[in-house]
Amino acid sequence: METCQYKAVNVKDDEDKNDAYKRVGKPFLRQLLVCSGVWTSYFISGLSFGAPTVLIPRERDSENSTIVITDEMASWLSSVHGFSALPWVFILPVLTQYAGRKLPFVLVCVNLLVGFIVFYCSTTAVHVLISELIQGLSFACNMTVSIIIVTEYTSPQYRGIFLTMKSATFFWGIWAANAIGTFSHWRHIGIFAFMCCTYTATSILWPESPYWLATKGRFKECTRAHHWLKGSSEEAERELENLINSQQTYLANISERKVRPLRDRLMSFIKTITTKEFYKPILLSTAMMATYHFSGKLVCSMYAVELLKRITKSDYTAYIGMLILDAVTVCGMYFGCFLSRILKRRTLLFTSSFTGILFLFLIASYLYLVELEIVSENSIISITLLTSFSVTISCGPMILSSSIYGELIPLRFKSISILITALVSYSIMGIILKISPYIFKAFGLHGAFFFYGVSATIFTLILFKYLPETKDKTLQEIEEILKG
């Protein structure tokens, strides 16, 4: 382990590194290159997630279809992504801890290629289900490796917009899958995804994460990677200095702990997991993910055609309405990305969250009045309320849930923190998507939207009380805030 001080590995004394820096270009463009590959993987995941939305009704309506989809199989096709990601949630954090950030991402690129080859060749519902099971790795990557890459490879001034852009890109993938499935055969989704996978696989030209290198004591490599990514400005130098000094101290303490008796090391571990800097980020991240999933927006996207068919009583209108809602969602997310540049994280999150919750209760109340025949059903009012709900939720919780989560997770507990948060998040996602059709049947649409409104309110109030502001702060500064 290297124990040299930061000034000993400064880029000004490293001519090879300085020459490499001049050849590559501006830090923003290099960070954009890194993020573009991550965004594309999110887009491909969106294609996979959105495919069942059009595949299921198309195959059920087709007279020549050889794919028989029962209600039970339909619920599995719509929810299996969350469950298939769970085993990889345990594996990927371990890989990122010991093998770095690049190798797991390369494995994800290969996994996406294989998954969509199976998808394109599918002739039964079971084949489609297998392709989705294969792609569970990519969904686990979205909550683990991808977020780590974006948070560690980008500067604080760009990190917020890059993190929010990835969430919008996922829903672009859903919209693209729905558009392809609406106007052509759903198998063409696989061809388009294969083309996107090719770009992702060829975009990995970046170095290993400087944060990971620092945790391994490889400070010279850390300095080279950090300057390649973020340049040598005064702000970047200060961030690098804080990172190296912090990790040198931490690694020195770890070395001392290894010679302690087992009992003392066990007590130290218990003390660690009961500190604020460990459990507070995990609880806040879990609440962020729960707010997003319990808002019902992902459910509305997955079951958009079925919901709109009930409201509009027209197949054609349902498909067009689905594409409009998806487009509005994506536009709302990009508008949220713009707002994230000028507003504080807390301001944007809670303004949009409480407004979205208000629309959830308005939708539930309107549909309940229709159920009681107090007012006559008007599809324009229903779609307007759904559109308003989509815009407000997409501006805040949808783009900020994973973004703030990526900022909150502390560096030294990253693997275990990500494992716990991702495990809870994908469990919630899978369960919500699996049981939603049964909620619709048992309680009606009004009861389902009321359930989502109450659930989202509870988690939003928890966040309102405890969530700190993270905008324009380095990961080290955020960690210090959580320590208190």
The more confident residue out of 402 and 185 is: 185
Where does 184-313 have alpha helices with state H? Answer: 188-202, 210-215, 219-230, 234-258, 262-273, 276-294, 297-302, 304-312
Which has the minimum average pLDDT: 13-22, 116-125, 419-428, 445-454?
13-22
Q: By the 8 A CB rule, do 236 and 227 touch? A: yes
Residue 3 has pLDDT above 50, yes or no: no
Residue 373 CA to residue 472 CA, distance in Å, equals: 51
Mean pLDDT of the chain: 83
Residue 217 CA to residue 150 CA, distance in Å, equals: 22
Q: Among 40, 39, 123, 118, which Cα is nearest to 84's?
A: 118
pLDDT one-digit tens code per residue, 449-480: 999 999 999 999 999 998 888 887 777 788 77
Task: Print burial letters for 271-308: b (CB count within 10 Å at least 16), e (below 16).
Answer: eeeeeebbbbbbbbbbbbbbbbbbbbbbbbbbbbbbbb
Residue 259 has pLDDT above 60, yes or no: no
Residue 43 has pLDDT above 70, yes or no: yes
Q: Among 54, 300, 293, 76, which Cα is nearest to 182's?
A: 54
Residue 268, Cα to own-chain centre: how many angstroms? 33
pLDDT one-digit tens code per residue, 67-109: 778 888 888 998 888 899 889 988 888 888 888 888 899 899 8
Residue 412 CA to residue 409 CA, distance in Å, equals: 9
Residue 280 CA to residue 160 CA, distance in Å, equals: 21
Residue 155: count of CB within 10 angstroms of its CB:
18
Tell me the Ramachandran region of residue 154: left when phi exceeds 0, alpha when psi lies from -120 to 50, beta otherwise: beta
Residue 66 has pLDDT above 80, yes or no: no
Which has the minimum average pLDDT: 28-37, 365-374, 404-413, 453-462?
404-413
**The pLDDT value given to residue 20:** 43
Rg, the chain, Cα only: 23
Domains in the chain (CATH in brackets) are 23-210+274-483 (1.20.1250.20)
pLDDT one-digit tens code per residue, 170-206: 888 999 999 998 888 899 999 999 899 888 877 788 8
Confidence of residue 265 (pLDDT cuts 50, 70, 90): low
Confidence of residue 255 (pLDDT cuts 50, 70, 90): low
Confidence of residue 118 (pLDDT cuts 50, 70, 90): very high
The more confident residue out of 261 and 165 is: 165
pLDDT one-digit tens code per residue, 270-291: 776 777 778 888 888 889 889 9
Greatest pairwise CA separation for the chain in angstroms: 78
**The pLDDT value given to residue 9:** 44
Q: Among 31, 20, 37, 24, which Cα is nearest to 204's?
A: 37
Q: If you average pLDDT over residues 313-328, what whole number do you get?
A: 83
pLDDT one-digit tens code per residue, 373-391: 888 878 788 888 888 998 8
pTM for the model:
0.77
**The pLDDT value given to residue 234:** 84
Residue 350 CA to residue 244 CA, distance in Å, equals: 35
**The pLDDT value given to residue 260:** 60
- Tell the burial category of 478 from Cβ atoms under 10 Å away from its Cβ (0-12, 13-18, 19+): buried
Block residue for tokens 């594996």: 91
Tell me how long the chain is: 484
**The pLDDT value given to residue 309:** 81
